[in-house]
Amino acid sequence: MKKPVIAIDGYSSTGKSSISKIIADKLGLIHMDTGALYRGVTWYALQHCLNENGQIDLHQLFSSFDKINLEFKNNDGTLILYLNNNDISKEIRTNSVSDNVSLVAKQKEVRDFLLQSQRSLAEKGGVIMDGRDIGTVVLPNADYKFFLTASIDERTNRRFLELKGLGIEADKGQVKQNLIDRDKIDSEREIAPLKQADDAIIIDNSELTKERTIELILSHIQKI
Ligand code: C5P
């Protein structure tokens, strides 16, 4: 039997990736955190495509796609993102990447560059993919679609703790502002905006533990 394709979209720091990873382990699926890909391109741009004002030169970035090789490698069940054979899993979580990623991700050229690798991973089934436009654009025919949301304060706390766990210094006010800014740019962009697919199940997990959110998702998958 073909394994399912599951799309998990939603706002920043609703736990999409950590929840998807646990579900992938439970159901024997491959997990792809698509946000990491946009973060990887942004990291590359910050290293190689800055103009004299220290801002990302988008045209230089667009002409550099052939120099960007992003790959997930499996390290004891955890997928690590490599850029041109260098582990960048920590770099992509830094504040400078978070501050720039939504401006990079709203570019059509960048979205087109990353679309095919996301789609081809799902061709054989057995995938859980999380992001912003998975149920609407990347995998509109996914077998199951979920859309996660939570209050801004809860999401701020989660991101703050995640950064602390990674040893990255963070200020709570700045973390909150970054989430608000990214959600606004992500929701209002013209191409593939962050929005719930018509056929997605919405889960507000402001007051739910990660375990409870996972149970809810699994109960829907078993029901359908
Ligand atoms: O999921 P994460 O917070 O790491 O995503 C970082 C950013 O990447 C998002 O704020 C959004 O701008 C972009 N993104 C996207 N489409 C996706 C996944 C992420 O535009 N499918």
| CATH number assigned to the domain comprising residue 24 | 3.40.50.300
Regions of the chain short of the pLDDT cut 50: none
**Residue-range definition of the domain harbouring residue 141:** 5-214
Residue 223 lies in a domain: no
The predicted pLDDT at position 61 comes to 98
CA 60, chain centre distance (Å): 24
Beta bridge partners of 146: 8, 201
Which helix (H) or strand (E) element contains residue 211? helix 210-223
**H or E stretch including 170?**
none
For 103, left (φ over 0), alpha (ψ -120 to 50), or beta?
alpha
Best substitution site from 132, 155, 163 to test ligand 1's pocket, by max atoms within 8 Å of Cβ? 132
What pLDDT is attached to residue 76?
Answer: 74
Alpha carbon distance 198, 102 (integer Å): 24
> pLDDT value at position 63?
98
Distance between CA 150 and CA 208 in Å, rounded? 9
Spacing, Cα 2 to ligand 1 middle (Å):
28
Give percent above pLDDT 70 in the chain: 98
CA 198 to chain CA centroid, nearest Å: 20
44 is in an annotated binding site: no
Mapping DSSP to helix (H, G, I), strand (E, B) and coil, where does residue 36 land? Answer: helix
Ligand 1 mean position, distance from CA 147 (Å): 14
- pLDDT 10s digits, 197-208: 999 999 999 999
In a domain, 220, yes or no: no
Closest atom of ligand 1 relative to the 13 alpha carbon: 3
Give the model's pLDDT for residue 74.
82
Please report the ipTM that was assigned to this predicted complex.
0.99
Q: What Cα–Cα distance (Å) separates residue 196 from each residue in 15, 85, 138, 223? A: 16, 35, 13, 21
In a domain, 99, yes or no: yes
Q: pLDDT at position 224, please?
A: 55
- Which atom from ligand 1 is nearest to the alpha carbon of 36? 4
Residue (of 9, 18, 29, 223) closest to 124 by Cα position: 29
- Please state, in angstroms and rounded to a whole number, the distance separating the CA atoms of residues 186 and 131: 11
118 lines ligand 1 (CB under 6 A): no
- Residue 222 falls within a domain, yes or no? no
16 is in an annotated binding site: yes
CB burial class (10 A; 0-12, 13-18, 19+) of residue 107?
Answer: middle
To the question of whether residue 18 is assigned a binding role by annotation, the answer is: yes
12 C-alpha to ligand 1 centroid (Å): 8
Q: Work out how many domains the chain is built from and give that number.
A: 1
Look at ligand 1, atom 12, and give the residue with the nearest C-alpha: 102
What does the pLDDT read at residue 38? 98
* 101, 156, 195, best to mutate for ligand 1 pocket (most atoms within 8 Å of CB): 101
State both tokens at 131: 């992001």
Q: What is the pLDDT of residue 223?
A: 65
